[in-house]
Amino acid sequence: MEKQQSSVENLGECVGEPTMINQQFWENKKVFVTGHTGFKGSWLCMWLSDLGAKVTGFALPPSTNPSLFELCKVEELIENHHVGDIRDLDFLISAMKQALPDIVIHMAAQPLVRESYKNPVETYSTNVMGTVHMLEAVRQCKSVKAVLNVTTDKCYENKEWVWGYRETEPLGGFDPYSSSKACSELVTSAYRNSFFGQENSVAIASARAGNVIGGGDWANDRLIPDCVRSLLSNQTIKVRNPDSIRPWQHVLEPLSGYLMLLQHLYEGGSKYADAWNFGPLDSEAKPVKWIVEKVISSWTPKINYEQDTGSNPHEAHYLKLDCSKAFYELGWQPRWSLEFTIEQILAWTRAYMSKKDMRAFSLEQIKEYTTWK
């Protein structure tokens, strides 16, 4: 195992400084979001509308019940809500031409590793051709100045080493999901070189975030949704890989990175048109069982967890990101510790159980994040 140097621990002293999201920049910006009905998309649309942006969404209907999108009535907050398949190129182009956006954020994807083992063809067609279609639509829509393709930390060739991956590391992917996102990265870079390479052209970047957690995720086979389902039904939590280490982070962390990067792309153009990691501090990359034990110890009534000994497909054991580039070149940094992140998720879950207004509650968490000292 070849050792690489990492400067990410140097970021430790900087946790807690304000994240700079420029409200003036976002006010009245026209933003086209694919995947807006999903977990991250719903949080992003709430944040963008709070900043005064005019959002058009393009996605399939929410795939879970309940869903953050429906609970927070996100449809009411945005200008246009298109229900469509990213594989339908003509519909995507017409929706984008109708919206004439300044900025495009591409998040529509089949985002689950285990689902990708069950449905590899759908995963590749959605994640790879979906990216091609999004970039084709951008080519045909002259209003667009900045594009962000949201991929994942799993796009790297996983060497099962303890160091964080840098943006320059080789792409790879053991399973169909991870490899489809590596393909999406390659598509992004080919389109950038082939069609958007000139000065003053559209600035296109990709973002690779770690394991994103937060209130309002009900996806199957994800740790926090599995925990929340067990808490709500008072049942033992089944854990597949208790020792696997992941770069866990609250959903608002990468979203703040996307917003900062997009402002740089829009204003600084090709200088920022590249790949960017957004993950937690090295010290916050914790094993699955650490999270489960924290969730259990902060919840009443008490429940237990046990290892799921059924046969499970391969998933990486170690995965960490080196986010020095975003820190030094964008001024982005993570703000909430993992411990506090879990408290926020449990607070969100309690509010949901008490039938609170979840849009107001979620916007309050966004406010708490942006004003964090």
Ligand X SMILES: NC(=O)c1ccc[n+]([C@@H]2O[C@H](COP(=O)([O-])OP(=O)(O)OC[C@H]3O[C@@H](n4cnc5c(N)ncnc54)[C@H](O)[C@@H]3O)[C@@H](O)[C@H]2O)c1
Give the integer Cα–Cα distance in Å for 240 and 315: 10
The single residue among 152, 256, 324, 362 that binds ligand X, judged by CB under 6 A, is 152
Counting contacts by CB under 6 A, is residue 247 touching ligand X? Answer: no
Counting contacts by CB under 6 A, is residue 35 touching ligand X? Answer: yes
Q: Which is nearer to ligand X, 74 or 330 (CB)?
A: 74
Counting contacts by CB under 6 A, is residue 38 touching ligand X? Answer: yes
By the 10 Å C-beta count (0-12 exposed, 13-18 middle, 19+ buried), 159 is classed as middle
Categorise residue 160: left if φ over 0, alpha if ψ from -120 to 50, beta otherwise.
left
Give the integer Cα–Cα distance in Å for 153 and 104: 21
Q: Which is nearer to ligand X, 115 or 267 (CB)?
A: 115
CB of 251 to ligand X, least distance (A): 7
CA-based nearest residue to 93, from 144, 19, 54: 144
| x-or-dash string of contact with ligand X, 86-115, rule CB under 6 A | xx-------------------xxxxx----
CB of 313 to ligand X, least distance (A): 17
CA atoms within 13 A on the CB side of 39: 23
Token pair of 307 as six digits: 């290892």
CB of 189 to ligand X, least distance (A): 17
| x-or-dash string of contact with ligand X, 113-142, rule CB under 6 A | -------------x----------------
The single residue among 37, 131, 178, 333 that binds ligand X, judged by CB under 6 A, is 37
Counting contacts by CB under 6 A, is residue 178 touching ligand X? Answer: no
Q: How many helices (H) and strands (E) does the chain have?
A: 14, 13
The single residue among 11, 31, 53, 59 that binds ligand X, judged by CB under 6 A, is 59
Give the integer Cα–Cα distance in Å for 55 and 91: 17
Give the integer Cα–Cα distance in Å for 72 and 336: 23
- The number of residues that bind ligand X (CB under 6 A) is 25
One-letter amino acid at 230 equals S
Counting contacts by CB under 6 A, is residue 211 touching ligand X? Answer: yes
Token pair of 311 as six digits: 């046969």
Which residues contribute to the site for ligand X (CB under 6 A)? Answer: 35-41, 59-60, 63, 85-87, 107-111, 126, 150, 152, 209, 211-212, 219
